[in-house]
Structure 1
Amino acid sequence: HRYGFDGVAQVAADSGIRACLSKKVMDIATYATQDNAMPMGLRETREESLLTTLDMFDRWHGKADGRIRVGFGPRTPGGVSPELYREMVSEARVRGMGITMHLAEVEADRQFLRQTYQMSPVEFARSVGLVGPDVVLVHMVWLDDDDIRILAETGTNVSHNPSSNSKLASGVCPVPRLLAAGVNVALGCDGGPSNNTYDLLAEMKLAALVHKAVSLDPTVVPAETVLEMATINGARALRWDHEIGSLEVGKKADLVVVDLGRSGLAPGLNPVSALVYSATGADVDSVMVDGRWLVRHGHLLTIDEERAVAQARERAGRLYAATGIDPGPRWPVL
């Protein structure tokens, strides 16, 4: 989260959720091959981004009974100088902070790195220290065989975001090849602007389908693999798999209850298949985090949902008005 970090962390603490929060790090306003791609209001200096993240780490890491972790979220190459990347990695390793960065999302990312540094995306990441078990690289669409080999050799994690990659026409992450090489692949939703929802159950279905279509092989990325990507692989990517990510004796009581008795999931003889191919977030009955119910029988217990929705609509309306953007459809709305 670039801005309002304190507010985000406070909401995470008050709502009872578990959160790994990262602050953007940047010192350049470009995006891949596009100069001055960042609006002035979104730009930050090294001091504003790096030092603020360290301040947020001291303030929030380990708070809320250990449910909140704070890491670095540097911008993609082109938005951060190699020197700042290395400084950030050094600070992260001293403190045991995780790092999450978007990389090789679009073809322009790969072209930029080849033209500017004569390196592939993962070669560049390795050159500045952005590989290893404490690093999650997001998207990873435009990779070659050497990139995948480096990821596997260094134990670097990948976050697959198929809905975002599809909506933005970025391409398809080579998940079957990554898995075959032994890379830990987790599942993500990217963000609201490039996905429209944070429904991880819906994301599972697309992750299970898209690689079958691309490879012309209906057996690749089976439902069981996708469920692991959404659970234990994600926990492993965050180095939290010793406490969460699976239901085992000694782990935290973090769980989601899905109502498989709903007609849309019938007959549900294979619960894993029903969950991956048929369920959505609307089928979630209850959610528990650290032994505490946050959602029970479809009702949020720690957030005023009606008030939150109303605030989101009002503030989104003001944002669109300020930018002069009309978010409506091409047809008249009755």
Structure 2
Amino acid sequence: MLQADRMWTGAHVLTMEPGEDIIKNGAVAVKDNRIVAVGTSTELAKTVQAVETIDAGGKLIMPGLIDAHIHSSYAVIRGVAQDMDHWMQKGIWPWMKYMSVEDRLAGSRMNLIEGIRAGTTTFADYDREMDSLLDQNASLGVRIHAAEMINELPDDVGDLPVTELYPLDREAGERRLKAGTDLYDKWHGAENGRITVLLGPQGPDMMSLDLLQRTKAEAEKRGVRMHMHVCQGDRELYQLEKRYKKRSIAFLDEQGLLNEQLTAAHLTEANDEETAYAASKGVNMIHCPGSIGIIDGIVPPVQAFLKAGGKAAIGTDQAPGNNSSNMFQEIKAAAVLNKVKAGDPKVFPARQALHMATLGAAEVHGLDREIGSLRTGKKADFIVVNLATPALTPALTNPVDTITPNLVYAASGEEVEDVIVDGRYVMRERKLVHADEAEAVNRAQQRAERLAQKVTF
């Protein structure tokens, strides 16, 4: 008999493994931080002996959601950068130049709690002061795929007119590159492997070519990918065309940066030809439809990217403009907006959208050997969802599957009852195990109020 610490039985089990249907009356067994068996409850009752057996009747067990692109600390200024043009320059930068480490910590803690409560188990957090954020957030028990944002922008860049060429501060760039490599050396593989680190140049427009190439070299030396904004707005194209007389995709290709090492967020302003070319070069894409829809009024070309054979994931991006770090909302936005863009209800089906927030996201970040689906030997990262709610009823698997589309088009995140990461509860029966939600919200509110007193427009 296989030995397990816990076994969940009687559930619908959505493994997200390719070609697998939902297992009715399914079970998942966990030993330490690994899945030791997945199958029907009848099968596992014969082969697994568990210390604790949990009745999950009326529930769904599925892989935890992976937020493939989030700036967690920005939640302290949630709601300041929508319904406007030039959202970054006019919305965010007037606040950013006054943000302290304490402000960032407060925003990040609250943002990760928000994500956990809606079923996110892995956060690809791409932010400033990441060492301090990890010092604080490692105790939450979630998985964090972290990158320090590396750029050469001066702190007062928001004071510049929108169309002026960014001045680049070499000394600031050196500090930030060192912060990124130090982060890897300190944190990569920490917390029993829950914390992993990659390199994060903020964008090709926000740094010199020299710093971009040296960041790439540091990533190659460590065998990790680069997480970078690419074609993230007309401002990026303006900067590159003025500085190098090239658009982003052509510039990155010329510099040998357009390959499988690059995980590109957004591709907002890429045309279909550029998008297909990036996919053909092995670039991975992160699609943040709710954020880009609100701040730019654009549906990024993810369908063209996928059609060209590329791999893509879904992320929430940033709370100042997206307002939400709820992955269920983002999954729905991806499916609905791409249907509308294509004028075709068959485009972007529910299973595809869910794949891009689970196994597909793990593939994009190079984590799919460990997480993203429920399979024997993988890390025990999953969520338990209550199907006995008005939004998710009826739960049918025959003659059609209603569970998957209802998750994508109807779930709010409040249906998530339990969150398990690395075999341990992070949330149980809607109660956070390692955090005080009320304290985190109050702290973020207080920091935001202090910050608001400094901001001028």
Calculate the TM-score normalised by the size of structure 1.
0.90
Q: Give the structure 2 partner of residue 282 of structure 1.
A: 414
Summarize the alignment of residues 107-146 of structure 1 with structure 2, pairs less than 5 Å apart: 107-146=234-273
Quick one: structure 1 residues 122 and 36, their matched pair in 2 at CA, closer, same or farther if it must change by over 3 Å? closer
Amino acid in structure 2 at the alignment position of 1:27? E
Shift in alpha-carbon separation, 1:62–1:132, aligned structure 2, 3 A: same
Q: Which amino acid aligns with 1:288?
A: I
Aligned partner of 2:348 in structure 1 is: 221
Aligned to 2:428: 296
**What is the CA–CA distance in structure 2 between the aligned matches of 1:78 and 1:2, rounded to whole Å?**
17
Partner of 1:195: 322
Q: Are residues 1:73 and 2:187 paired?
A: no
Partner residue of 2:102?
Answer: none
* Rounded Cα–Cα distance in structure 1 between residues aligned with 2:178 and 2:395: 51
Return the alpha-carbon distance in structure 1 between the equivalents of residues 270 and 202 of structure 2.
19
Question: Which of structures 1 and 2 has the larger relative contact order (alpha carbons within 8 angstroms, sep 6+)?
Answer: 2
CA contact (8 A) 1:162 1:203 kept: yes
Q: CA deviation at 1:115?
A: 4.1
Answer with 87-96 or 260-269: which moved more: 260-269
Question: What is the CA-CA distance between 1:167 and the residue it aligns to?
Answer: 1.1
Per-residue deviation, residues 119-152 of structure 1 (Å, max 9, x unmatched): 3322222233433333211111222344223322
The residue identity in structure 2 corresponding to 1:242 is R
Q: Following TM superposition, by how much is the alpha carbon of 1:243 offset from its aligned partner in structure 2, in angstroms?
A: 0.6
**Cα distance between partner residues in 2 of 1:129 and 1:168:** 30
Q: Which amino acid aligns with 2:443?
A: Q
Structure 2 CA distance for aligned equivalents of residues 255 and 79 of structure 1: 37
Amino acid at match of 2:413: G
SS of 2:215 mapped into structure 1: helix
1:165 aligns with 2:297: no
User: Where does residue 272 of structure 1 map in the other structure?
Assistant: 404
Q: 1:111 to 1:27 in 2, by over 3 A?
A: closer
Q: Deviations over 1:89-130 (max 9, x none)?
A: 011101112211111122332343334323332222223343
Query: In the alignment, is residue 313 of structure 1 matched against residue 420 of structure 2?
Result: no
Looking at secondary structure, tell me which structure has more helix per residue: 1
Evaluate the alpha carbon distance shift between residue 34 and residue 97 of structure 1 in structure 2; reply closer, same or farther with a 3 A threshold: farther
1:288-322 CA-partner distances (Å, limit 9, x unpaired): 11111101111111111111111111111111122
Amino acid at match of 2:234: E
Describe the SS at the equivalent of 1:312: helix
Q: Is the 1:70–1:98 Cα contact (8 Å) retained in structure 2?
A: no
* Contact 1:223 1:272 (C-alpha < 8 Å) held by counterparts: yes
User: In terms of mean alpha carbon deviation, does 106-115 or 66-75 score higher?
Assistant: 106-115
Gaps of 5+ in 2: 1-125, 397-401
Quote the Cα distance in structure 1 between the aligned partners of 2:265 and 2:278: 12
Per-residue deviation at 1:199? Answer: 0.3
- 1:197-217 per-position Cα deviation (integer Å, ceiling 9, x unaligned): 110011011100001111111
User: Would you say how many aligned residue pairs link Structure 1 and Structure 2?
Assistant: 322
Correspondence 1:179-194 to 2 at 5 A? 179-194=306-321
Q: Find the counterpart in structure 2 of residue 103 from structure 1.
A: 230
Change (3 A) 1:318 1:129: farther
The answer for the alignment partner of 2:139 in structure 1 is 14
| Stretch deviating more after TM superposition (175-184 or 145-154) | 145-154
- The code of the aligned residue for 1:9 comes to L
Q: Distance in 1 between matches of 2:166 and 2:178?
A: 23
Structure 1 residues 139 and 172, CA, compared in 2 at 3 Å: closer, same or farther?
Answer: same
Q: Report 1:246-261 matches (<5 A).
A: 246-261=373-388
Q: Which secondary structure state, in structure 2, belongs to the residue aligned with residue 282 of structure 1?
A: coil
Matched, 1:27 2:152: yes
Paired residues of 2:380 and 2:421 also in contact (CA < 8 A): yes
Alignment partner, residue 239 of structure 1? 366
Identity across aligned pairs (percent)? 34
Q: Is the 8 A contact 1:133 1:237 kept in 2?
A: no
CA distance in 2, matches of 1:298, 1:162: 27
Q: Which range is displaced more, 262-271 or 126-135?
A: 126-135
Unmatched segments (≥5 aa) in structure 1: 326-334
Residue identity opposite 2:425 in structure 1: W
CA contact (8 A) 1:89 1:129 kept: no
Shift of 1:36: 4.7
Cα distance in structure 2, aligned partners of 1:77 and 1:47? 16
Query: Aligned letter for 1:26?
Result: N
Write out per-residue CA displacement over residues 254-311 of structure 1, whole angstroms, 9 at most, x where no aligned residue: 1122212111222243111010000022221111111111011111111111111111
Distance 1:10 1:160 in 2: 28
Larger radius of gyration: 2
User: For the residues of structure 1 that align with 2:269 and 2:220, how far apart are their CA atoms?
Assistant: 27
Instruction: Give TM-score scaled by structure 2 length.
Output: 0.67
Q: Which structure shows the bigger proportion of residues in strand conformation?
A: 2
Question: Conserved in 1, the CA contact under 8 Å of 2:287 and 2:315?
Answer: yes
